[in-house]
Amino acid sequence: MVINPISPTVDFDQDGVQHGFLKLPYSHDQSAWGSIMIPITVVKNGTGPTAVLTGANHGDEYEGPIALYDLAAKIDPVDVSGRIIIVPAFNYPAFLSGTRTSPIDGGNLNRIFPGRPDGTVTQKIADFFQYQILSRADYVLDIHSGGRTLEFIPFAACHVLPDKRQEKRCVEAMRAFNAPYSLMLLEIDSVGMYDSAAEELGRVFVSTELGGGGSASATTIKIAKKGIENFLKHAGILAGDPLIEPTVNLDMPDGRCYVSCETPGLIEYTVELGEEVEEGQVVAVVHEVTRTGRPPALYRAGISGIFTGRHYPGMINMGDIVAVIAVPV
Ligand code: CA
């Protein structure tokens, strides 16, 4: 049996706060016997549940890392009952390069679970989380946003699960995170996702999409910070009740919620994120740019609902997401 080469410099069972690294050996031209040093904080006080908090699963999404580096610097173990494992930059090589996937192996950490202990750098990170981190977790929060190519209304999300008791616990934790929108998310392709790995192990799992465009705003950062604190209060790891404000509950009944691009070009949106749209309504047009005088291609909502997600850059390609529409419930 191959042992995962990642070694933590922290002791997961020690009380107090420890700031250290997940040390991943990586031999390359600039460092023959070098390691990738993934920052990690472990905060523990007595017995109680364990929450695992991650950001930058995709390296170009910033609310998670900002809120989690901030939390790690401020948290006092006396305020904790149980344990918090904080990894602000989950796919650390991708985070350092500001890209969705790893510049080392092209690995998309959220499509590669359960990983491999003898695989590429990204596969080794996934394998370590599968067997060393998720095994210790009760509550798992993975903070995403749209990255450089997508933008979303700020939502927390969970999934429809075969185990309805587990699904209920995930929904309760999503509601506790209390983003402005709470979404039962229909994934395009859930194979290899960290979400699925955590859910299959029976964990209470919540994800988010808090913004996008390859940056973070004051508003979305505030949502992340409040959501994390609420999530830890809900888990009973921090004292007190979550601060609950109004949220819009959303569902994604089927594939009509996604509109994909079939004509590359210059995209002109005709609605803003958060607006209500009717089935058949034009949400965007795409102008062909190789010549003038052509009528634009029209992209229509496949279902009535809230305009939830969109392509971010000004130019769009074949197969890119034009629109995500979710239905208020
Ligand atoms: Ca993401």
Full DSSP string of 17-29: EEEEEEEEE--BT
Query: Which pLDDT score, from 0 to 100, does residue 187 have?
Result: 85
Helices of type H across the chain: 63-74, 92-97, 121-128, 164-177, 194-200, 218-234
Domain boundaries, the chain: 7-250, 255-328
Ligand 1 mean position to 10 CA, how many Å? Answer: 27
From the number of C-beta atoms within 10 Å of its C-beta (0-12, 13-18, 19+), residue 114 rates as: middle
Q: What is the pLDDT of residues 99-144, one digit of tens each?
A: 999 999 999 999 999 999 999 999 999 999 999 999 999 999 999 9
CA distance 180 to 213: 19
Q: What is the pLDDT of residues 226-285, one digit of tens each?
A: 999 999 999 999 999 999 999 999 999 999 999 999 999 999 999 999 999 999 999 999
Question: Pick from 116, 252, 250, 111: which is nearest to 189 by CA?
Answer: 111
Q: What is the DSSP letter of 238?
A: B
Ligand 1 mean position to 226 CA, how many Å? Answer: 20
How far from the centroid of its chain's Cα atoms is residue 304's Cα? 26
Ligand 1 mean position to 275 CA, how many Å? Answer: 22
CB of 278 closer than 8 Å to CB of 327: no
Ligand 1 mean position to 136 CA, how many Å? Answer: 23
Ligand 1 mean position to 29 CA, how many Å? Answer: 30
Query: Which pLDDT score, from 0 to 100, does residue 188 have?
Result: 82
Ligand 1 mean position to 142 CA, how many Å? Answer: 9
Ligand 1 mean position to 159 CA, how many Å? Answer: 15
Angle (CA) 126-321-285 rounded to 5° is 165
Q: How far is CA 225 from CA 66, 260, 303, in A?
A: 9, 32, 33
Query: Which pLDDT score, from 0 to 100, does residue 248 have?
Result: 98
Mean pLDDT score across all residues of the chain: 97
Angle (CA) 53-191-315 rounded to 5° is 85
Mention every residue, 6+ apart, whose C-beta is less than 8 A from residue 262: 297, 318
CA distance 295 to 51: 53
Q: What is the pLDDT of residues 172-212, one digit of tens each?
A: 999 999 999 999 998 888 899 999 999 999 999 999 999 99
Q: Which pLDDT band, with edges at 50, 70 and 90, does 20 fall under?
A: very high
Phi and psi for 9 in degrees, rounded to 5?
A: -95, 5
Preceding amide of 93 cis, omega within 30: no
Ligand 1 mean position to 104 CA, how many Å? Answer: 19
The CATH fold assigned to 255-328 is OB fold (Dihydrolipoamide Acetyltransferase, E2P) (2.40.50)
Query: Which pLDDT score, from 0 to 100, does residue 190 have?
Result: 87
Ligand 1 mean position to 60 CA, how many Å? Answer: 8
What is this structure's pTM?
0.97
**Whether residue 39 has pLDDT greater than 90:** yes
CA distance 143 to 67: 9
Q: What is the pLDDT of residues 282-318, one digit of tens each?
A: 999 999 999 999 999 999 999 999 999 999 999 999 9
Ligand 1 mean position to 16 CA, how many Å? Answer: 31
**Whether residue 158 has pLDDT greater than 90:** yes
Ligand 1 mean position to 283 CA, how many Å? Answer: 23
Ligand 1 mean position to 311 CA, how many Å? Answer: 13
CA distance 257 to 322: 11
**Whether residue 167 has pLDDT greater than 90:** yes
Partnered with residue 326 across adjacent β-strands are 306
- Give me the CATH code for the 7-250 domain, please: 3.40.630.10
Ligand 1 mean position to 147 CA, how many Å? Answer: 6
Ligand 1 mean position to 145 CA, how many Å? Answer: 5
Q: What is the DSSP letter of 189?
A: -
Query: Which pLDDT score, from 0 to 100, does residue 175 have?
Result: 98
Token reading at 138: 């009760």
Ligand 1 mean position to 257 CA, how many Å? Answer: 18
Token reading at 56: 């930058």
Ligand 1 mean position to 166 CA, how many Å? Answer: 23
Ligand 1 mean position to 292 CA, how many Å? Answer: 36
- Amino acid letter, residue 317: N
Ligand 1 mean position to 304 CA, how many Å? Answer: 25
The residue count of the chain comes to 329
| Radius of gyration of the chain from its Cα atoms, rounded to whole angstroms | 20
Ligand 1 mean position to 22 CA, how many Å? Answer: 22
CA distance 176 to 179: 8
98: left (phi over 0), alpha (psi -120 to 50) or beta: left
Ligand 1 mean position to 124 CA, how many Å? Answer: 19
Ligand 1 mean position to 40 CA, how many Å? Answer: 20
Ligand 1 mean position to 215 CA, how many Å? Answer: 12
